[in-house]
Amino acid sequence: MRTLAPAALVVTLAVSLVIAQPPKAGEFVNKGSRPASAAATLAAHGLPNLDGKWYIAGPFDSTERAGFDFAFPPEKGFDPKATYAGKGGAKVQWKEFTGFKTGTIVDLAAATGTKSDAAVYLYHAFESPKAFQWPLSFGSDDTLSVFVNGKRAYHEPHVRPAAPDQDRVVIDVKEGKNELLVKVCQEGGGWEVYVAPELPELIPATIRKQLDRNFPPKGEALVAAPSKGEEKHYQMTTIPLPADCVLEAGGLAFRPDGKLLACTRRGEVWLIDNPLAENPADVKMKRFATGLHEALGLYVETNNVVYVVQRPELTRLTDEDGDGVADKFQTVCDKWGVSGDYHEFAFGPARDKNGDFFITLNVGFGGGHQAKAPWRGWCVKVSPEGKMEPFAYGLRSPNGVNFSPEGDLFYCDNQGEWVVTNKMHHLKKGAFMGHQAGLRWVKDSPFAGKVSDKVASGMRYDGVDKQGNQTDAYPQLSPPCIWFPYGRMGKSVTEPVWDTTAGKFGPFAGQCFVGDQTNSVIMRVALEKVDGEYQGACFPFRSGFQCGVNRLAFAPDGSIFAGQTNRGWGSLGGKPFGLQRLAYTGTEPFEVHHINLTKDGFTFTFTKPLDKQLALASDVKPVSVSSFTYVYNSNYGGPEVDQRAEKTGAAKVSANGKELFVPVESLRRGRVYDFRLDVKSDKGDPLLHAEAYYTLNYLAK
């Protein structure tokens, strides 16, 4: 699971006077990026755009995150002559923040001289010729609070690295002078902030759409709100928990008798009887086992035998007398290392047809060599007899590993150092997934000789070691089959599971579903093989869960259970843990079912036939296409780079109306293609989700 360092920062907006000019209807000013174009367009219409001076005051003390809810003196008003008591008793005054720039991620640590347990304020004031509601885009490491004219407009205890467009805050602008204050609290690690203007509704809709067409929104704060129609197709039920059950779900699996087992981060295993009861109050729960060490996965063998992955081992639990409580705890394998680092989670097990188990091992967190103990950052294979074999490496925080119905092994990894955003990999023996900490154990693996000691110690991936010597002894980087664009498609992906319900769960049989722990959603993945390798598209699916979705399990009736937790990781939804069930209502949604790559473009297959008029309209472009790529380096996450609007040809509808072919010029490997669709079904239904992202690693032949 992606683990982030908290933060404390307060940002206040500096003074800029915008001379009002008559708005020019229809004018859009393209400056090469979304924030710069929005700012220039605002100025062209005589509206404020966040340009001008910014001021900074801090750092203030925020030990144990106390700064988030504490009102430091700058919150009481901007006084450029005031002196405040800052962190460690240092004197703090307002000063001009010459290094601040809107539309970019700004480093605050250098400006304040501290990197932990601190808070800082930024200030900007602006003049407006009229009153209006203005959406602003923010990113922060970590917590974010926004004040406008002395009133708090936003206050969220985020735990995350800063990225563009993480939050959209709509502020009430008054005619005349306005003041904006932003507060961010930081505990350790990076300390950054992002602020950018967006276009308000008083700007003509044609201009706002032009901004979206030229520069599609990237953060989840700027995309359309989750569809209000999701519940029409997939109904959610919350399972009530006993008062003494802290179900911080680490694993879910159904027994052959239909009862559900759930292991927890608190080291317990719960047996859930009658989980499909029409009345949730009829669901009964009892402890099956206790005393485990942060159990984050389980595999059911029989009604009385279950395998559980703890931090240090794979354990077999047996209920010998059939009373619903485990009597025997047996260590199957404890051959991987544990240093005591809190971030050394262990996930799984996935089991193949031969009975072998596959377990993915988290690296440690922060600085130095993160694979402090053997095989951290690896996937290991464990035989039924307990023999362990290193299988693949370069994993970071692989929270979820599973087999597809075809017998191929996949895992999902979380954003962090060497992992620019969340991703899904096809796991093959000997493959290198990109995180470099685990390279130190290659010398002890079956793959020794493929990576030189210089490279393993040098921790670089540009063909040279620390001394600058060229080397070819480096593992080939295995690309992910799916990139999940950060924010828009979750922030902390979890376990992939496949729909094998033969239609009981709706029209997506055979496809993969992936939970997200931070955004409390389930996403959908449709894979295909191109040139013999997996790649494909990801889509939004269902939002609105009460907590972070950490584990998924399909029930015998075709519904899906979502085990949830937020401790230490944070999540939307307001609950610390829980269990919810999602069932198909029988009302088919109008969605993109899957996307296929062709030599010349993409074919979109829908769940329902398209509007017949679309086939007759030669001048309509129902799909806008853009693309971007990522830079591979050691940074903790990173932006989407080389963003391009792709040229498309005339779309063609198939004879059955369910397929739409969109020609795209100059398809390129190593890019994510971002689709925004504007189509309706032949019954007039709009798409339930109008966005999709295709990871293109290999070109169709």
- The pLDDT > 90 percentage for the chain reads 71
Q: Give per-residue pLDDT as tens, 605-629.
A: 999 999 988 766 666 689 999 999 9
- Same-domain pairing of 371 and 487: yes
Residue 298, pLDDT above cutoff 80: yes
In this prediction, residue 614 carries a pLDDT of 79
How many folded domains does the chain comprise?
Answer: 3
Order across the sheet with 192-197: list the strands: 106-107, 192-197, 132-140, 167-173
What is the value of pTM for the model shown?
0.71
Residue 368 pLDDT grade (very low, low, confident, very high; cuts 50, 70, 90): low
- Same-domain pairing of 27 and 69: yes
Is 472 among the domain residues?
no
Question: Which residues contact residue 187 at a Cβ distance below 8 angstroms, ignoring those fewer than 6 apart?
Answer: 5, 6, 7, 8, 62, 65, 116, 117, 142
Q: What is the mean pLDDT of residues 557-579?
A: 89
Q: Give per-residue pLDDT as tens, 519-553.
A: 999 999 999 999 999 999 999 999 989 999 999 99
- Same-domain pairing of 603 and 578: no
Is 222 among the domain residues?
no
> Closest Cα to residue 209, out of 28, 399, 72, 459?
28
Which has more pLDDT, 234 or 142? 234
> Closest Cα to residue 296, out of 389, 361, 390?
361
Given a contact cutoff of 8 angstroms between Cβ atoms, the answer to whether 348 and 401 are in contact is yes
Domain with residue 663: its CATH number is 2.60.40.1220
Domain with residue 525: its CATH number is 2.120.10.30
Given a contact cutoff of 8 angstroms between Cβ atoms, the answer to whether 208 and 222 are in contact is no
Is 206 among the domain residues?
yes
Which residue, 568, 584, 600, sits at the end of a domain? Answer: 584
In this prediction, residue 13 carries a pLDDT of 32
Is 219 among the domain residues?
no
Number of neighbours of residue 652 by Cβ within 10 angstroms: 15
Number of neighbours of residue 243 by Cβ within 10 angstroms: 5
Is 454 among the domain residues?
no
Question: Which residues contact residue 631 at a Cβ distance below 8 angstroms, ignoring those fewer than 6 apart?
Answer: 420, 638, 641
- Same-domain pairing of 573 and 609: no
Amino acid at 585: T
Q: Report the distance separating Cα 202 and Cα 46, nearest Å.
A: 12
Which residue, 214, 249, 276, sits at the end of a domain? Answer: 214
Tokens 């720039």 -> residue: 101
Given a contact cutoff of 8 angstroms between Cβ atoms, the answer to whether 377 and 359 are in contact is no
Q: Give per-residue pLDDT as tens, 196-215.
A: 999 998 898 889 888 988 88
Could you list the residue range(s) of the whole structural domain that residue 120 is in? 7-214
- Same-domain pairing of 99 and 241: no
- Same-domain pairing of 554 and 507: yes
- Same-domain pairing of 261 and 347: yes
- Same-domain pairing of 61 and 159: yes
Query: What integer best gives the mean pLDDT of the chain?
Result: 88
Given a contact cutoff of 8 angstroms between Cβ atoms, the answer to whether 561 and 550 are in contact is no
DSSP assignment of 51-82: -S--EEEEEEE-GGGTTTT---GGGG---TT-
Q: What is the mean pLDDT of residues 285-304?
A: 96
Is 125 among the domain residues?
yes
Q: Report the distance separating Cα 281 and Cα 559, nearest Å.
A: 18
- Same-domain pairing of 504 and 411: yes
Domain with residue 148: its CATH number is 2.60.120
> Reduced to 3 states, what is the DSSP secondary structure of residue 86?
coil
Question: Which residues contact residue 392 at a Cβ distance below 8 angstroms, ignoring those fewer than 6 apart?
Answer: 378, 379, 427, 428, 429, 430, 431, 432, 433
- Same-domain pairing of 325 and 426: yes
- Same-domain pairing of 130 and 265: no
Q: Give per-residue pLDDT as tens, 425-452.
A: 999 999 999 999 999 999 999 988 765 4
Is 469 among the domain residues?
no
- Same-domain pairing of 74 and 141: yes
Is 444 among the domain residues?
no
Question: Which residues contact residue 379 at a Cβ distance below 8 angstroms, ignoring those fewer than 6 apart?
Answer: 358, 359, 360, 361, 391, 392, 393, 395, 398, 401, 411, 427
Token reading at 477: 């980087």
> Closest Cα to residue 671, out of 641, 695, 643?
695
In this prediction, residue 219 carries a pLDDT of 65
Which residue, 151, 186, 214, sits at the end of a domain? Answer: 214
